[in-house]
A and B are shown apart, each in its own frame.
Chain A
Amino acid sequence: MSTKILEIQNVKREFKMGTETVRALKGVSFDVNSGEFVTIMGSSGSGKTTLLNMLGCLDKPTEGTYMLDNVNVKNLTRDELAKLRNTKIGFVFQAYNLLPRTSALENVELPLLYNPLIGTQERKDRAIAALQAVKLDGRFDHTPNQLSGGQQQRVAIARALVNEPVMILADEATGNLDTRTSYEIMALMQELNDKGKTIVFVTHEPDIAAFSTRTVMLRDGKVQKDTMNVNRRSAREALDSLPVSDDY
């Protein structure tokens, strides 16, 4: 029996826009167990982004409970939320969000800098290990503008891994990449998932969702569909099946 990483019960989020109240989430409930690879799908306006902010502890629900690794997020202060993000969540963004003019290694070290328990040497060792895990050996000193989009996203994934979070939270992580590179990133994600990492992947591309083990479909602030993927595609195979002529 795998443990529950996320427990979301009847989560609502409302925004006050002047006199009007916008209800972005109207009662969302689902759990994520450890070792799952969940994609959250939905068209724009479905509450995807709001849910993602909530899952990433950047925002708190107006109503309902959100338990992350058995911690109720609702009762936490700003600083406690920051600590939770630092130790339990690894973010991967659509726009990579690497620090410019900063080497890959330093970018990966960044989350550890905000963890006072980790010393200089351990920080460096773990950053190197994380970069090796995303197959970026030998590019430690490259700055983001010396790396391709796919490589930058790998650095971002390494940065998400380095703190050994309970969950990797990816926000349209392949949105800026071409098909081949997207598949490469998904292959890497699957590989991490196979090693036991829990991944929550927000996307609007159905073919990306096919690589996950489970899809949660949002519509109009509610869960429309929550299905297990019986026929999970292997990104590695998908990559091999791409026409060779794609290499222009």
Chain B
Amino acid sequence: MKIINLVLLAMKALQRNKLRALLTMLGIIIGVASVITMMSIGEGSKQSINASLSSMGSNMITIMPFSNEPGGARLAGSSFKTLTIKDVNALQKDAPHIALISPLASSSGQSINGANNWPTTIQGVNPDYLEIRKLVVKDGIVFSDQDVRGSAKVCLLGKTVVDNLFPNGESPLGKVIRFGGIPMQVIGVLVPKGTSNFGQDQDDVIIAPYTTIQKRVLSTIYFNQIYASAVTESASDDAVKEVNTALRITHRLRDNQDNDFQVRTQAELMTMLNSTSSMMTALLTAVASISLVIGGIGIMNIMYVSVTERTREIGLRMSIGARGVDILLQFLIEAVMISITGGVIGVVLGISAAIIIPNMLNWPTVISESSIVISFLVCAVTGIFFGYYPALKASGLDPIEALRYE
């Protein structure tokens, strides 16, 4: 029998048992829809992580102090004091792949404006920091290199700090706030950045010249971190190498000594976060694909029933000249049609879900073509796999017995 006739035959057979066909499809529909939805949620969160990371500066390089066991005891990285202005100067001189560089000396404490106060973090940096972290001043101006040299008592406020110190909506520009007992004039307000991927409020910050923080707040010559940006994103790796070489020299490390600092790029962070979200996606998809398997078993079950029900029909078809392969294909195509129709409905439902979810739950979703293609292929394979055995059973029937089957 020609394939086109077999397809028409299968369509007719399914039409006759619409409800049954639909119920059989249900497993496949749910399976495909949930696979597509899960994968779109996974892809969406991956892309939103990437987007927010590149909004932090995709070519950003972070240098942190790191344990080198000076006295045999390992200590937390942040308690090491190895980064100084010498390192910053060395990098400015010897690392051609680094475009911008800023030290960071930070401190936590209470900020006060009159009767209002707010616990926050103050970051001592140089003007390049804003460029590296993609921070923009909305109102006012950025402090200058002059301010840095002179340890000027000026600062920029994040939105959260503004909201808490100036709850009545008055402009903070020109006002003097206090942090750790040091009065500082507000010269600018930052454009809000929102919450980071780690759940951290990126607007809960005060930015001031690093010299001011080092000398007036912390009384130290060390930095917590050094932020730098590579010339381009692809130059990150070269920049990291240069940082390693330059800092080993300034820190006078011998060849057999480990680094007493750690260099991280945004790309590494991106990979790490992506691998986490990929694992979650894989997990959710695995759970979803279980229902595809269950759907397949449903098809197999119904096809067995169908073969038994139509034993006489099979006997008749054989007696008037159907070969085993004709019968096999007839039932196989029927099974595949169930699974593919279920697959199409599932794809439509999955896409709809992926469109509705961002509106209802505020989760980002991105529908990937690959998820549609994969789940579609999987359900076609499911149909073939689970439809094959019942079809084989049908094609192996003895026409004499099938004809006499009651």
Contacts and interface: CB of A to CB of B under 8 A. Distances in A.
Interface of A: 53, 56, 58-59, 78-79, 82-83, 85-87, 91, 93, 97, 99, 101, 110-111, 113-116, 159, 163
11 contacts: A53-B400, A56-B319, A58-B399, A58-B403, A82-B321, A83-B321, A85-B320, A87-B321, A93-B403, A113-B5, A114-B326
Contact of A58 (B16, B325, B326, B400): B400
A99 B314 CA distance: 10
A93 B316 CA distance: 9
Interface of B: 1-2, 5, 16, 312-313, 315-326, 399-400, 403
A113 B318 CA distance: 12
A83 B315 CA distance: 15
A101 B16 contact: yes
B312 A97 contact: yes
Nearest to A95: B312
Nearest to B402: A58
Contacts of B312: 97
A53 B312 CA distance: 16
Q: Which 3 pairs between the two chains have the least Cβ-Cβ distance?
A: A86-B321, A114-B321, A82-B323
B2 A116 contact: yes
Nearest to B396: A78
A20 B399 CA distance: 24
A224 to B, nearest CB: 24
Contacts of B323: 78-79, 82-83, 114
B331 to A, nearest CB: 15
A83 B155 CA distance: 93
Given A58-B399, A59-B400, A97-B312, A91 B325 contact: no
B321 A97 contact: no
A115 B320 CA distance: 10
A59 B313 CA distance: 18
B319 A115 contact: no
Contacts of A86: 320-322
A91 B319 contact: yes
Nearest to A82: B323
B318 A82 contact: yes
